[in-house]
Structure formats: structure tokens, C-alpha cells
């Protein structure tokens, strides 16, 4: 009894008439036959397969052929094209073409007619997709994650088809760009994208631009996560949106190495400029608690979303990013880090190909969601073998595709990282050094090296790194505070 229920439901659905609107189809085609301007407007919205009735598909195809040939579209030319195809009688003859014109109240509403046709077609495709997803589930796949990803991808593909405009006219683009540049000139604001708060970096890049893939690379423990989370993500989340100046920008963070609670602690200590070791061990000093309280209040009102699933696949990551964008209107995505993202496909011969595919998917995601994607990446060990350990583009680990896909590639370099590492490797200065370091609030000088910039200058940006608060500071701020000489 229970086993027969799905098949009975399927039969009931198959007996129902699929969504369609023949009057809207007739009005769309009639408008195209009446007015030349209606042809281009309708074709920017509907395609041949959007029409439910076969005769209407054939008429639309004939209209498009006449238009592409440069001939005027009317009853005579379209009828001749259908006759050439030996389809005129099948669509109802010339009488039906004339009747289509009579079904049009006004050609001014052709966009609305075409939109109705497209929406009904989308509903039919949704029914088809539902059947495909149902069949996928009945096949009882072994890999549940792949099945869910495939189902969601199918629905998302349909959702993407709702946007029928596939080009941009140059006029409005130039006008919008000119107004933006004019406004920046008046205000003196050189940051047209999302501000990171790192002044020289923002000056060189004009901020993080929508659709860009930004790589922040470095050796382990160089400070990549600190820079991405405590500087880039936090500063963006604390900045009011330009469009309304009432809400702050939203940020989505994918952490494949640290847990959400660890990131929350990092953000709290970074904003409060409090030594994380002292906080964790209950050794707070002076006004630490006051600063932590104020920081907690500011962060609580931020639109920051954290996803900490370890070993997440690129398909799942993109799926969750889409939901973040649609449900929470995020403006920036940070991923920590590239080499921990998997493809789950098993179809690559080597790790280089897999990493390349992840990098391409990240760039596609930035374009698709129209947000900057900041992606952490490891560097290869080659940098350790050179006398000058400042990274170069060829040091990007495992794939040249990372450099190819990125719009901006930045390297983190701290000379003290290697100066402290060498004594430890040779067994010098051991003993109590670990305790000294965790209780040390000194500033470490760092360089953020812009090695590739698709739309601007390259070069180093000097920063100060507060190791125990895990946050980078502008050198100018440190000089004013007299903590940097």
C-alpha cells in the first residue's frame, strides 16, 4: 500500500495540463508580426522552446530566420519562410498568421506578453527538473552529497534562467561609470570597491572589486587567516554600505581549518586589540575587559556568516554561497583556504588539475554572485630554499591556474618569521621562549606584496603585525602611536 503511493501521485500529476498561456503566446507572436521593434524586445526574453504549442514554436523560428536575414518581419515574409520550410499548412496557414495580429490589443505590451510565455515555460521546466530529481532519489545513489548537489544545481540553473537580459548596452554603462568617477572626484574617495582599512593597499587597488578573485598567499603561520578575517572581513563588515549608509556590508566566511568559535574569538581579540593567549587563559590586564565588551557589542551587530565545514567540496561551497547571497545579501566572500577545498569528483589525474578546477570555480562564483572572493592559498616550499625568501608568482602551490584565474595576487612576508625559525631549527634559544612569545605584545613588521594586479599597480605595502591580537595595522597608525620607529 505504501509503495504504491508515489506512483499514484505521479499518475495524477501526469494527467494534469502543464502550465501554459496560449493567449500570451499568440499576443507575443502577433506583436512581432505587427511591429519591427517588438521583434528584438520579445527575442531578448523568449526563445523557441519557451512556446508550449508546436505551431507557435515554428512561427517564432520563422520570424527569427526572417529577422536574421535582414528582411522586414510581417505576415507575408514569415508566411513565405514557413512555405519554404513546408510548414505553413501545419501552423494553420496564412489565415492563422493574420489571426495572430487580430489577437494583439497593443504591441506596447509585448515585453509583458513575452514574460508570461517565459514564466510558464520556466514552470514546465521546473516540473521536468522535479521529475529528474525524483528519479535521482529513486535510484538510491550511494553518494548522498553528490545527489543533493546535483539536485540543487539543477534548480539553481533554472533560477538563473529567470534573468533574460544577456547583454549590456554601452550607453548606460558609460553613464554609470562616469557618475561614479565624478562622485569619487568630488569626495576625494579613491576606494570604489569594498575597503579593507589597509590604507596603502586600498589606494593601490581602489578596494576589493565585485567579481574579482583575490588571492592572499603565504607560508604556514605567516598571518593569512589573520589578514583575511581580522582585517579584510572585519573592516568590510564594520563599514556602512554606500547605497543606503544605514546597513553595513555583509560578509560570508568559509573556514576549512578553524572552527566558527575560534574565528569568533579571533575577531573579538582583533577588534579589541587584546592578547588572545591572555584572554583564553584568564590573564587579562587593565582595561582589557572594557575593550572586549565594546568589541563584542560592535561585532554582534555585524552581518558576518561563518561556515566551518571541514573538507567542503567546491559544489557545496558554491551552493552555500548562493544561499548566503540570496538570503543575507552578502557583499564579500572569504575562503580559508584553497588547498583544503575538494572537488569530490575523482576525475582528475593529479592535484594540479584539481586545484586549477577549484580556482576556476572560485572565479566563476565571484562573477556569478557579483562579489569579491578573497581566497587564502599556501605557497610551495621553493621559497624556503632561496636566500631571498620574498615570494614570487611561481611559488603559488600546486597550480599555475591560481595565478591565471586571479585578478589580484598578494603575498604575505614577515622577515622575522624566518629569523625566529632558524634558531628553533638549530636548537638555540629554547627553554622558556614559548612563554615569552605568547605573552609578547610587540609589533612585527610585515609586507603585503601585490604581485599581480589585473587593473592597477603592483608592489609592497608595509604593515605592522600584532601577533598576539592577530591583526595587521597601518604603519602610519603605529607611527602616530609611537610604537614603530
What is the band of 374 on the pLDDT scale with cuts at 50, 70, 90?
very high
Give, as one character, the DSSP assignment of residue 107.
G
Whether the predicted pLDDT of 311 surpasses 60: yes
Whether the predicted pLDDT of 433 surpasses 50: no
pLDDT of residue 163: 47
How many Å apart are CA 359 and CA 286, to the nearest integer?
46
337 preceded by cis ω (within 30°)?
yes
Least confident of 38-52, 62-76, 146-160: 146-160
pLDDT of residue 361: 85
pLDDT digits (tens, 9 = 90+) for 280-299: 766 677 777 888 888 888 98
Whether the predicted pLDDT of 264 surpasses 80: yes
CB 416, CB 437: distance < 8 Å: no
pLDDT of residue 97: 92
Task: Catalogue the active-site residues.
Answer: 257
pLDDT digits (tens, 9 = 90+) for 2-28: 344 444 445 445 567 889 999 999 999
How many Å apart are CA 370 and CA 331, to the nearest integer?
8
Domains, the chain: 5-160 (1.10.860.10), 189-480 (3.40.50.300)
Whether the predicted pLDDT of 406 surpasses 70: yes
Per-residue DSSP letters for 136-197? HHHT--S-HHHHHHHHHHHHHHHHHTT-------HHHHHHHHHHHHHHHHHHT----SB--S
Tell me the pLDDT of the chain averaged across its residues.
81
**CA-closest candidate to residue 366, choices 325, 397, 309, 308:** 325
CB 320, CB 307: distance < 8 Å: yes
Phi, psi of 456 (to 5 degrees): -175, -165
In the predicted model, what is the mean pLDDT of residues 422-435? 42
Of the two residues 372 and 219, the one the predictor is more confident about is 372
User: Quick check: pTM over 0.95?
Assistant: no
Amino acid at each position: 500500500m505504501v509503495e504504491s503511493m508515489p506512483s499514484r501521485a505521479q499518475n495524477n500529476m501526469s494527467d494534469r495540463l502543464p502550465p501554459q498561456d496560449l493567449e500570451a503566446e499568440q499576443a507575443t507572436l502577433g506583436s512581432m508580426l505587427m511591429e519591427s521593434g517588438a521583434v528584438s524586445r520579445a527575442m531578448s526574453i523568449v526563445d523557441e522552446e519557451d512556446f508550449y504549442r508546436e505551431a507557435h514554436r515554428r512561427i517564432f523560428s520563422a520570424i527569427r530566420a526572417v529577422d536574421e536575414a535582414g528582411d522586414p518581419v510581417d505576415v507575408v515574409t514569415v508566411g513565405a519562410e514557413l512555405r519554404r520550410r513546408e510548414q505553413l499548412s501545419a501552423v494553420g496557414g496564412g489565415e492563422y498568421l493574420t489571426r495572430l495580429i487580430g489577437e494583439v490589443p497593443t504591441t506596447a505590451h509585448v515585453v509583458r506578453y513575452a514574460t508570461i510565455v517565459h514564466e510558464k515555460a520556466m514552470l514546465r521546466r521546473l516540473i521536468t527538473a522535479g521529475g529528474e530529481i525524483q528519479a535521482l532519489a529513486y535510484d538510491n545513489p550511494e553518494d548522498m552529497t553528490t545527489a543533493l548537489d546535483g539536485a540543487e544545481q539543477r534548480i539553481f540553473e533554472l533560477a538563473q534562467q529567470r534573468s533574460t537580459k544577456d547583454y549590456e548596452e554601452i550607453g548606460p554603462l558609460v553613464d554609470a561609470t562616469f557618475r561614479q568617477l565624478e562622485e569619487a572626484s568630488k569626495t576625494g574617495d579613491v576606494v570604489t570597491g569594498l575597503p579593507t582599512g589597509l590604507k596603502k593597499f586600498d589606494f593601490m587597488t581602489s578596494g576589493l572589486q565585485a567579481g574579482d578573485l583575490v588571492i592572499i598567499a603565504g607560508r604556514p603561520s605567516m598571518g593569512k587567516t589573520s589578514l583575511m578575517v581580522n582585517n579584510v572581513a572585519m573592516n568590510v563588515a564594520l563599514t556602512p554600505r554606500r547605497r543606503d549608509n544605514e546597513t553595513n556590508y555583509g560578509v560570508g566566511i568559509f573556514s576549512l581549518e578553524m572552527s566558527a568559535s575560534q574565528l569568533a574569538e579571533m575577531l573579538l581579540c582583533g577588534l579589541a586589540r587584546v592578547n588572545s593567549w591572555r584572554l583564553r587563559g584568564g590573564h587579562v590586564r587593565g582595561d582589557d575587559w572594557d575593550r572586549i565588551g565594546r568589541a563584542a557589542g560592535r561585532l554582534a551587530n555585524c552581518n558576518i556568516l561563518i561556515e566551518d565545514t571541514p573538507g567542503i567540496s567546491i559544489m557545496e561551497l558554491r551552493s552555500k554561497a548562493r544561499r548566503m547571497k540570496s538570503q543575507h545579501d552578502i557583499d564579500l566572500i572569504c575562503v580559508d583556504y584553497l588547498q583544503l577545498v575538494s572537488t569530490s569528483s575523482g576525475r582528475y589525474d593529479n592535484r594540479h588539475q584539481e586545484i586549477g578546477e577549484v580556482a576556476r570555480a572560485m572565479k566563476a562564483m565571484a562573477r556569478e554572485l557579483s562579489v569579491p572572493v578573497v581566497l587564502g592559498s599556501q605557497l610551495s616550499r621553493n621559497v624556503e630554499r632561496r636566500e631571498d625568501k620574498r615570494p614570487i608568482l611561481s611559488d603559488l602551490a600546486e597550480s599555475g591556474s591560481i595565478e591565471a584565474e586571479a585578478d589580484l595576487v598578494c603575498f604575505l612576508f614577515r622577515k622575522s618569521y624566518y629569523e625566529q625559525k632558524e634558531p628553533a631549527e638549530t636548537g638555540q634559544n629554547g627553554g622558556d621562549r614559548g612563554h615569552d612569545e605568547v605573552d609578547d605584545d610587540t609589533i612585527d613588521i610585515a609586507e603585503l606584496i601585490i604581485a599581480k594586479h589585473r587593473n592597477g599597480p603592483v608592489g609592497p605595502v608595509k604593515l605592522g603585525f600584532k601577533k598576539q591580537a592577530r591583526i595587521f595595522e597601518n604603519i602610519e597608525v603605529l607611527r602616530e602611536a609611537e610604537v614603530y620607529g
